[in-house]
Amino acid sequence: MQKDTLVFDLIRKELDRQRNGIELIASENFTSLQVMQAMGTVPTNKYAEGYPGKRYYGGCEVVDEIENIAIDRLKKIFNASWANVQPHSGASANAAVFLAVMKPGEKFLGLDLSMGGHLTHGSPANFSGKTYQALHYGVTKEGIVDYDQLEAKARAEKPKMIICGASAYSRDWDYKRIRAVADEVGAIVFADIAHPAGLIASGLLNDPFDHCHIVSSTTHKTLRGPRGGIITLRHDFENPWGIKDPKGNLRTMSQLLDLAVFPGSQGGPLEHVIAAKAVAFGEILSEDFKAYGKQVIANAQAMAAAFNKRGYQLISNGTDNHLMLIDLRNKNLTGKKAQETLDKAHITLNKNAVPFDDKSPFVTSGIRVGVPAITTRGLKEPHMETVVHLIDRVLMNADDEKEVAAVKGEVSAFMQQFPLYPELG
């Protein structure tokens, strides 16, 4: 068989792009080489519909062992009693949670997308907003979750489920307060921890499992695994809401969630990705990973201080986690212009709406900046000053092609100090 040089040449170009740039997309990270190696292996050839020990195909004895290792390691990471490692993504994990506990048209309450929430938390463009009755809470003028508004809406509307979690929120969550109002109105609390999961796993942020009925996450981002999703429960329980399976039987929450993943919303699991998840979960259980989490927070706070020093307006005036959201209106820039110009200098981040934005989601007034990937490459607090200096030079000279090109050269030279996958040549 002839090698597909066209595709493999492009893969090499992508490796070069990653090596030569400063990666600041908050939802991206660099896996270890062994995680990537596990993902590109023969379990990709195996169909394994169902769960370990209960498959619809033969020949699953080995992938059963792999999946059980992933489950056991994940349970240990979060001190959980049950876990499902089959969701293909965070969005599919969230879809399964909805399918397990909600009927079409029922109400739920989530953080507004324009205030930092996620697409799957009720955007009208997403299944969550189309299938269910989405209600939203927002943030205060200071950029902190408006818990008073959340509580008032919960009491007035009595939603079936309350979602806590975000894709562009830089502060920790008060899960205890959310659970208190949920108990008052009889709601399920669902935490989507896709962004801060690695920091929660290291004990560096509040633990949602203490107060939330169901927790989902991606496995990339701060968990530094392959692209995929998970759903976990600290304690399985007989559901007090009387939720039944498709045959009308009462089930425990873990049974409802298993059924919602397969056969409810997915067919065969990606066992090669699950193998890579298992490897990543093993890495998370090491002391090295906890040190990584501490460095992520230290880098994010050092970066926030460097932006503040240069007059950038940070939403909530700082960060507790791995990211920050910056309103560029006082710099007379849009998020779109900032993203596109920084791309030319090999500095990658994303435009993002800011709370109370007056621009469209395709333009935006802000940018979202995250440090997980550059922390993985070995950058530390003093380097954050350099990174912000380079960003500022580009943004303050956005129409000067020569200056942007000069920064691009400096970025590439700077990042040579932090090799990425040297084993790949």
Which residue from 343, 385, 354, 350 is spatially nearest to 370, judged by alpha carbons? 350
218 carries an active-site annotation: yes
Which two tokens mark 347? Answer: 């500095």
Phi-psi bin for 316: left (phi > 0), alpha (psi -120 to 50), beta? Answer: left
Helix H or strand E encompassing 14: helix 5-20
Sheet strand arrangement including 313-314: 313-314, 323-327, 366-370, 350-352
Contact indicator for 82, 233 with CB cutoff of 8 Å: yes
Q: Clarify whether 380 is annotated catalytic.
A: no
One of 46, 73, 221, 224 is an active-site residue; which one?
A: 221
- Count the residues in the chain: 425
Main-chain dihedrals φ then ψ at residue 335, nearest 5 degrees: -65, -40
Whole-number Å distance between alpha carbons of 81 and 212: 14
What gap in Å lies between CA 67 and CA 57, rounded to an integer? 15
Residue 179 bears catalytic tag: no
Check residue 224 and give left, alpha or beta (phi > 0: left; psi -120 to 50: alpha): left
What is the SS3 assignment for 251? Answer: coil
Cβ burial 255-293 (10 Å sphere, 16+ → b, else e): bbbbbbbbebbbeebbbbbbbbbbbbbbbbeeeebbebb
Is 221 designated active site? yes
Nearest to 163 by CA among 175, 148, 155: 175
Closest CA to 271 of 59, 129, 128: 59
Name the active-site residue from 218, 232, 375, 376. 218
Q: How far is 301 from 388, CA to CA, in rounded Å?
A: 12
Q: Is 393 exposed, middle or buried (0-12, 13-18, 19+ CB in 10 A)?
A: middle
Which one of 19, 153, 227, 337 is the catalytic residue?
Answer: 227
Tokens standing for residue 219: 């496995």
Among candidate residues 146, 192, 283, 357, the one labeled active-site is 192
Distance CA 297, CA 32 (A): 20
Location of structure tokens 């818990």: 147
C-alpha 298/C-alpha 320 separation (Å) is 9
Token pair of 57 as six digits: 């195909």
Q: Which amino acid is at 264?
A: G
Residue 263: is the preceding peptide bond cis (ω within 30°)?
Answer: yes
Helices 401-415 and 335-344: crossing angle in degrees, nearest 10, is 60
Residues serving a catalytic function are 47, 49, 192, 218, 221, 227
